Structure 1
Amino acid sequence: MDDTAIERPHPNGSLTELRIEMPAGTKHFAVADEIARYLPEEVFDGCGLKNAVEWLSKVSKLAGWREFRSVDHYLSSTETLRAIGQGPWQGNQSMVVLSDERLFFLTKGFVGATSEEFSLTAINSVVAKRRPIGEELIVTVAGSTTSISRMMHGQGDAIARGFRKVRTNMKSSLSAEASIESATSRAEELAKFASLH
């Protein structure tokens, strides 16, 4: 087994990334959980998972306990969690997670896990619909849809609103970058014309 630690700046302090190289088929998450037992709990909340889970009801936490225990393994060190919800997806109790980079569904069984993820730029729409037995979140990507149903009221709406906010921020950021590039290219053109004199 080979291991390395890399430390770098993070908006909430610093980030230490542990890499553990192990033979295929070994229990990587079990090793990560063992390391986590010896570190303070707040060390692992750089992505905002603790706050998001606290917002959920006791029923959601109970129904999705397997997913909640493992969702941090599916988040990258650069992601910030925006909203989270729980309900049936593809016939199983699952979780839907919105970060500032992607939206993904996760089902964690006793033996394995199933997940499906979508980059935020690939998603056409995220719609929350109120139903008599909870909310349904419908995600449309390239003409096909996937949905998670029977979510507690407010969860689907929080994810839909969070998606719109993140997409708006992404568009604003891209516009700002395009403006900077445009201003830089104009300045370079002026410098070229000035050098011709």
Structure 2
Amino acid sequence: MATILRSVHWTVLTGSGDPIALVSDAVEKTDFRVVSSSPSSIVVEVPRAMLKNRWGATITGTLSLGAKGTDIEWVIDGPGSKHYEHMVTIGEHMPEGSLDNHGIPEAVAKISLKMFGREEIRHLSNVLDRGEFVYAIGIGSLSAKMGIVALTDRRLIFLEKSIGSEDIVEFALGSIGAMSLGKKMGGETLTISHSGTSATITTLQPGQGDLIARKFRELKNQPQPTALNTTASVDPIAQIERLAELRDKGILSDEEFKSQKTQLLGNL
């Protein structure tokens, strides 16, 4: 069976502790194992498990300084379809509050989540980009498949997760021309007009489609931030403090710390 590469972004929040130590402790609570680690990288081996219907895989994480803490770029290399499942397994053993949750718990709290959809919720953070934020979530059908619908600050995602299958359909916010709400006997519907075509998500629970549509209109009507505003939002002093923390943990060398510090001070 051919191997597949998939990428997952994590952010270990500032103040949570040493990211390598946290990940290593989490891996120890699974049947995976850490095969190598350094201040800037970690490699995890997932063994083949016949009883769990699981192929073996190699997971490589590369660490870098981020706005909220330490970013980890994971690459999962292996056959089969459980790449995201591997990351869920590790993530469930990370200390509570140590990872950026992308606003998912708050979005879920706004809806009535029944048994269906819980599996997709567990996997949602694995398909999000670094810093991506979820505003609204619903449960519906697209092309005869049931899954969750998530509206983020960047796109609308439909995620279907079942045995042996992980389907993701996404619509970039910039490509969506309109989003219309409808109602049928089976629930609410959302029709998305994008790039000259359309797609309809059906059987959304009452209120879920309305919540997504209203938040979409808010996002589309927001003024786009200018480069000046983006620069002003960066606090060089806070960045230097995070750099010092990474240097003290050995993730950055003294030379790397001094170089980045000098660059940040030049922005004052």
Matched residue, 2:216: 163
Corresponding residue to 1:129 among 160, 176, 182: 182
Matched residue, 1:173: 224
Please tell me the residue identity of whatever aligns with 1:154.
Answer: G
Aligned residue for 2:102, secondary structure, equals coil
Taking a change above 3 Å as real, the CA distance of residues 152 and 121 of structure 1, as seen in their structure-2 partners, is: same
Aligned residue for 1:77, secondary structure, equals coil
Q: Give the CA deviation at 1:15.
A: 3.4
Q: Give the CA deviation at 1:147.
A: 1.3
- Give aligned-pair identity as a percent: 28
Q: Give the CA deviation at 1:94.
A: 1.1
Q: Does 1:70 find its partner at 2:128?
A: no
How far does the alpha carbon of each residue in 1:116-136 deviate from its partner, in whole angstroms, 9 at most, with x for none?
Answer: 111111111111112233211
Matched residue, 1:15: 69
Matched residue, 1:32: 87
Corresponding residue to 1:44 among 75, 94, 99: 99
Aligned residue for 2:120, secondary structure, equals helix
Q: How does 1:46-61 map to 2 (within 5 A)?
A: 46-59=101-114
Q: Note the aligned Cα RMSD (angstroms).
A: 2.2
How far does the alpha carbon of each residue in 1:94-147 deviate from its partner, in whole angstroms, 9 at most, with x for none?
Answer: 111110111121111210211111111111111111223321111111232111
Q: Give the CA deviation at 1:155.
A: 0.5
The whole-number CA distance in structure 2 between the counterparts of 1:41 and 1:128 is 37
Tell me which stretches of 4 or more aligned residues in structure 1 moved more than 6 Å.
none
Matched residue, 1:191: none
Q: Give the CA deviation at 1:22.
A: 4.7
The whole-number CA distance in structure 1 between the counterparts of 2:62 and 2:100 is 21
Matched residue, 1:103: 156
The whole-number CA distance in structure 1 between the counterparts of 2:206 and 2:133 is 23
Q: Give the CA deviation at 1:157.
A: 0.7
Matched residue, 1:79: 132
How far does the alpha carbon of each residue in 1:30-59 deviate from its partner, in whole angstroms, 9 at most, with x for none?
Answer: 432233133223233441001111222133
Q: Does 1:3 find its partner at 2:61?
A: yes
Aligned residue for 1:87, secondary structure, equals strand
Taking a change above 3 Å as real, the CA distance of residues 20 and 132 of structure 1, as seen in their structure-2 partners, is: closer
Matched residue, 1:188: none
Matched residue, 1:114: 167
Taking a change above 3 Å as real, the CA distance of residues 147 and 54 of structure 1, as seen in their structure-2 partners, is: same
Taking a change above 3 Å as real, the CA distance of residues 148 and 76 of structure 1, as seen in their structure-2 partners, is: same
Taking a change above 3 Å as real, the CA distance of residues 46 and 7 of structure 1, as seen in their structure-2 partners, is: farther
Instruction: Name the structure where helix makes up a greater proportion of residues.
Output: 1
Moved more, 32-41 or 49-58: 32-41
Aligned residue for 1:43, secondary structure, equals coil
Aligned residue for 2:180, secondary structure, equals strand
- What TM-score, normalized by structure 1, do the two folds share? 0.76
Please tell me the residue identity of whatever aligns with 1:4.
Answer: T
Q: Give the CA deviation at 1:81.
A: 0.7
